[in-house]
Each structure stands twice: as structure tokens, then as C-alpha cells.
Amino acid sequence: MFFDIITHMIGLKRKTIKLIPHHKSWIPFFDKEKAKLLKLIPNMHVEHVGSTAITSISAKPIIDIAIGINRISDFPRYKNKFKKLGFEYHDNRGSKFNKFLTRGPADCRTAYVHLVRYNVNIWNKYICFRDTLNNNLKLAKQYENLKINLATKFKNRDHYTKAKSDFIKKS
């Protein structure tokens, strides 16, 4: 039963923009992913970030996971471990400061991993944005309204994501 709920509430076709109300299954889904990740690579810091981690707003049903490690240069050591868990590395989506991985086939992405150095600027931005919106309902609703408006305006997911960036930077 629990699995059936999750499969209907998590996952989205690549490049699709679809927002749904926050769903209680997102938290335990993240918790299971975190446990799997920490079992495979125990010395990581793993946090639920992105809109699915903000309990008062709608979101794309894809779980964003921030993983903090001490040195990005260690990523090649972990790459095959992520692959064993079903994550696919996208060399063209990150930078030398972060690595981007996805889980799920292109027609049903379920998770994004943003692998960054722990406790530096990008890590802190992920955590601060999540915490700020979870603690400020008015600001969270402003972000949700922006996302809803952008979802109707843009069909291109990259343009949608870029259009949100000013709000995220200011918050």
C-alpha cells in the first residue's frame, strides 16, 4: 500500500513542469533514500532540499537531495557507488564545484542529487533557503505563487528554472 502511494506521488517525466500540492509521502521517501546513501557512503552529509522539503507549498514531485562531502575531488571514488543505487551522473549539468545525479528513467525522474562540498557557500544556500521558507509561510507562498505563474508561462523547464533563480538568490 505505501509503495503504491509513493509511486503515484513521486516522479515526473524529464523536462516536464508539473506542480502538485505537498504530499506526506515525500518525507519518508527522502528518509529511505538517505538511509540507502549513508549505508553505502557513511561519511556524507545528506539533506532534503528543494520545494519538496518545504511543507507548505506545491512542488514538482521529484525529491532534491543535497549531499555534502569534504572534497569534490573525491567524487570519482563514489561514482560507482551512486550507480549501484540507481543514480545516473550527468557530467554536463554540474561544474567543478558540484555534481548532478538523477534517479529514475527519463519518463519518471524520482530524485535529483546535488553533490557539493559540505558546509561551504552552495551547501549553506540549499539549507538556508529550505529553512527560511519552512519558517516563513508568507515568503513560502510568494515562492509558490511565482512557481505556479512560471509553470503556466514556460513550457521549457530550463527557462522555468532560470526564472526562479532571482527569488532563490534573494531569499
Q: Could you tell me the CATH number of the domain that includes residue 130?
A: 3.30.460.10
The number of beta carbons lying within 10 Å of the beta carbon of residue 26 is: 21
Query: Could you list the residue range(s) of the whole structural domain that residue 7 is in?
Result: 2-170
Q: Which residues lie closer than 8 Å to 56 by C-beta, 6 or more apart? A: 22, 133, 134, 137, 140, 141, 144
The pLDDT assigned to 46 comes to 98
Q: Cell 567524487, residue?
A: 75
The pLDDT assigned to 8 comes to 53
The pLDDT assigned to 9 comes to 84
Counting the structural domains of the chain, the total is 1
Between 98 and 1, the more confident residue is 98
Task: Note the pLDDT tens digit of each residue in 92-113.
Answer: 676 678 899 999 999 999 999 9
The number of beta carbons lying within 10 Å of the beta carbon of residue 39 is: 9
The pLDDT assigned to 95 comes to 67
pTM: 0.91
In degrees, to the nearest 5, what angle opens at C-alpha 131 toward C-alphas 100 and 52? 55
Query: Model confidence at 43, in pLDDT bands (50, 70, 90)?
Result: confident
The stretch 64-75 carries a mean pLDDT of 94
CA distance 147 to 60: 10
Task: Note the pLDDT tens digit of each residue in 157-170.
Answer: 889 999 999 999 88
In the predicted structure, residue 3 carries a pLDDT above the cut 50: no
> Length of the chain in residues, anyone?
171
